[in-house]
Every structure is written in structure tokens, then in C-alpha cells.
Amino acid sequence: MTPKPPHFPPKGRRLIEVLAYPAVQLLDVTGPLQVFASVNAQMAKAGNAEPYEVRVVGKDGPTIEASAGVGVAVHPLSAIDAAVDTLVIPGGDGVNAATADAVLVDWVRRRTTQARRTASVCTGAFLLAATGALDGRRAATHWQFCAELAERFPAVRVEPDPIFVRDGSFWTSAGVTSGIDLALALVEEDLGRATALAVARYLVVFSKRPGGQAQFSELLSLQTTDDRFSALHDWVGNHLAEDLSLATLARQAGMSERSFSRHYADATGLTPARAIERLRVEGARHLLSETHLPIKRISQRCGFGSEETMRRSFMRLLSTTPQDYRARFAR
């Protein structure tokens, strides 16, 4: 995202409220909390005012039991009209019970109208969607729950790939650790890219992954419980520029073409041709973001044969062109 100048007034701190409820995912709460706390610590060390006040709030206090049996101290739910800058809604095993709690859902609904921005982490999108706040908006959640979110809340435009999505004043993120990426993006919006990168380095995490990065690799998504094609996928990853026709793949797998096609589709849910296209796009994405190779050379290295073929695959799978992808994600 394009870095913006700091928005903070000369004095005062912005209140970050993180909601907690029974069986909330612990890292969904503590990941963003630590980002904001680290910003405060770095600012204080430099002799500057701490920009954030961070508070964990909950309906069931003064302590709630989060995942892994860890107790989290919480403040009572704030008054609806109390000032708040950012509201963070974590996910976790308890999110379904939370969405069935009419009092909690109503509090979140009304609190979002008071907050400058609202963010959800992982399955926290379900609680936010239950308020109607995401109707007509783009949203992300953990890849494993995207279909369920779309089914339960058809008015939400669920995007299964991004780490996080921003639509207006609402930010939604994918699985657990992406809450850290989202928090770093919020810090960048407030204080600039340099501050966000400094905090990322301090926390020894990826230097602020862009929101449009995929949640997981195509190679990982093609893994199956029996893992019968893992060796084939490894081989393909090292031979993207070569002939990867059905005959070649079947021969490498030690099967007839007909048998290979049937077993591969059963195991991965994709035809061999579609899987190869995805792996080639992933290889190209890596080269676009990590190297300065010309796009024509990348298309050849990844087996597309031409820039136009690669462009069509990018548009089909990522809804963007290789040029635009490089512009957004190149280091």
C-alpha cells in the first residue's frame, strides 16, 4: 500500500480496542497487541510520545480463557459512544458462540460506527459480518473458512487469496499470523512505512507482507493427506521451463496418462493442466517480486512461452497483469 504521512495530532494517543471472548485465538489478540506495544516502546526510546493506548475489552470479565487455556485480563466493554480510534475483532474457536450472542453482536455493530476504522483477524470476520458491516464489501478470512463465510453471509464479497483486504474503513485479514501483517499496515497508515518496517525488523517478522500476497503457496495447496504426488510437484518446480505435457507428467509419476489424470484430479481437485498453470504463475510471481529479470525472460523461465500467455494466466488467476504485480510487490 502507498505510504501515507502520519495523521496523529501533536498531543494525545489513539485508543486501540481489541475484543476478547471465550475461546478466542490467543495469537489473534496478542499479535496485533504486540505490534502496537512495540511501536510505543520504540517511540518512547527515541524520546517521543507513545502514539497508542491499547486495551483488551470483553463482555465476560475480568478474565476470559483464550485458546491453549491461557487467561486474558479484559476491561469491560466500552460505552457505545466512548471515543475509540481502532476496533480489532479477533477470531478463534469461540467465534460461533460470539456471533450467536445478540448483546455482543449489537455492541460490535454500534462500536464500528464510532471507530475510525475496524479490523478483523482470521475468523473474526464472521463476527464482523454478523453485524452487517461487511455487506457489499470485500473481505478476507482464513483460507479454510472462505467458503463458509461466503455461504453464511452472501452479501459479503469474500476474497480467498489475500493476506488482508481493506475496503473503506474496514480491514479484514486471513489466518492468525496475518493479524501481525494487518497491524503493521495500520501502523504504516498512521506513522509511515519507515516506522512499520522498523517494528517488523524488531519483531523478526517478514518486513510487512503486502496485503495482496497469497495466503499460502500453490505447492502447499496441492499437498494432500496421502501426499502421493509430492515428489512430482517437487520435480515440476525445478522444471517449469520444460515440456510439462500430460504424457510427461504421467511418465514422471509412473502411470498411464488416463490413470494419472483420474488419480491426480481426485487427489488435488484440479486437472494436471490447471495445476501446472498455477505452479508456473507462482514461479513467475516469485521472480517478479524478487528479481529484476525482464518479463519476457520470466515468461520463458516459467514455461509460458510468451509474455501474452503469461499475462492471460495472471489475469485468470490473480486478476492482474505481471507488470502490475511487479509494481505492487517488487522489493
Amino acid at 249: L
Q: In DSSP terms, which residues pair with 8 in a beta bridge?
A: none
Q: Helix 322-329 crosses helix 272-290 at what angle (to 10 degrees)?
A: 50
Q: Could you confirm whether 122 is annotated as catalytic?
A: yes
- Name the strands in the sheet holding 117-120, side by side, starting at the edge strand that comes first in the sequence: 75-76, 52-58, 14-20, 86-89, 117-120, 170-173, 164-167
Q: Which of 19, 122, 196, 287 is catalytic?
A: 122
C-alpha cell at 144: 479454510
Q: Beta strand pairing status for 170-173 and 164-167?
A: antiparallel
In DSSP notation, 80-103 reads TTS--SEEEE--STTHHHHHT-HH
Please enumerate in sequence order all residues whose Cβ is within 8 A of that of 46, keeping only pairs 6 or more positions apart, or say none: none
| Pairwise CA distance, residues 222 & 282, whole Å | 12
What residues are annotated to the active site?
A: 122
